[in-house]
Amino acid sequence: MALKAVHVSDVPNLDQVPENASLSLYSSTLFSQGSELNRGASFRMPKFLVIGHRGHGMNVLQSSDPRMKAIKENSILSFNSAAKFPIDFIEFDVQVTKDDCPVIFHDDVILSEENGTVYEKRATDLSLAEFLSYGPQREAGKEGKCLLRKTKDGKILKWNVETDDSLCTLQEAFQKVDPSVGFNIELKFDDNIVYQQDHLIHVLQVILQVVFEYAKDRPILFSSFQPDAAQHVRKLQNNYPVFFLTNGGTELYSDVRRNSLEEAIKVCLEGGLQGIVSEIKAVFGNPGAVPKIKESKLSLLTYGKLNNVPEAVYMQHLMGIDGVIVDFVKEISQAVFDMIKPAKAGGSEEDEAKSKLQFSQQELSFLLKLIPELIQH
């Protein structure tokens, strides 16, 4: 399959969306073909969503849990492996190479080794050909450059997983991933760089060009930790929901818009965004933010390690959260199905109750008060 870089001169004015690209989240139930997401309109998820983190789950190379090293994250293999389970979306990170090709990769830099010397290159400073030269190669007999990864404590490890796969582009994902699964496209930018507006718009236009050309009827959801990028992508198109990603104050940044759920609400309301994706610890630590988000007519999704715990996921369902991004796709998708599946025809209420965790209002209130204390330890 031929891949080519898309230059900004080839990108149309994206304020005018092509009719055949009028995709939207669950268009058959929420939006009709050609519909738009109007600024200020209430946006509601049709169901509790389960979203595969970087496909089948992120890679944590130092983890003792083999599930965290099973399949190369952000790969076609990982995406299609996740799509075999009853999930709604896969989440992945998109950056743009120096020759304007959207590629899927999480880290800001690529680490490799040559003649015993470790070196790093910023993913966005590479051409498409250079980017794809790392890791397993699709061409028979061709060997790629080794991939390393730095852990949070600074150790550099070989990026070894049980089942490896090649790096890929956004175009390839659209063409090769099961069309029944939606794409949560995270617009990835470096936390340590202050981006100029012209650069952000250029990058977003290049990504949108690929989305509009290849998405067809696939549900799409955009998200970004970069508040300006989130607001710009909302201005550039009206067809796909845009969510603001936040740590909710669990980590602090120089940009105050990233430091609390209250600030996240402001970003969304100012930019006409449809919702927030928060680290779940921030929500459990500040459960009172959930009704504020709902009163603002925003949807709320979460991510984080606690989302790999079925009980924590069910608590979120009870709290009115709209969905979870998870690493343990098989286990959590099955748990969600068992916990919140609709009653079977002819089944008794007693049978249904047996498959679900049950909390009274008093117990739920107690748990919501207890959780902030628990997650501090």
pLDDT computed for residue 35 by the predictor: 52
Looking at residue 255, what is its pLDDT?
96
**Number of helices followed by number of strands (H, E) in the chain:** 12, 14
What pTM was estimated for this model as a whole? 0.85
| pLDDT at residue 52, as a whole number | 98
pLDDT number for residue 46: 79
Which tens digits make up the pLDDT trace of 41-82?
A: 556 777 899 999 999 999 999 999 999 999 999 999 999 999
Q: Name the residue type at position 178.
A: D
* pLDDT attached to residue 375: 55
Show Cβ contacts of residue 171 under 8 Å, excluding neighbours closer than 6 positions.
3, 102, 210, 214
Q: In this structure, which amino acid lies at residue 223?
A: S
The whole-angstrom separation of Cα 371 and Cα 363 is 12
**pLDDT < 50 regions, the chain:** 1, 3-34, 343-346, 351-356, 377
The per-residue pLDDT for range 315-359, each reduced to its tens digit, is 999 999 999 999 999 999 999 998 876 644 445 555 444 444 555
pLDDT at 21: 35
Residue 178's pLDDT is 98
- The strand ranges marked E within the chain are 49-53, 89-96, 102-104, 109-114, 117-122, 148-150, 156-158, 168-169, 182-187, 220-224, 242-246, 275-279, 299-303, 323-326
Q: What is the pLDDT of residue 259?
A: 97
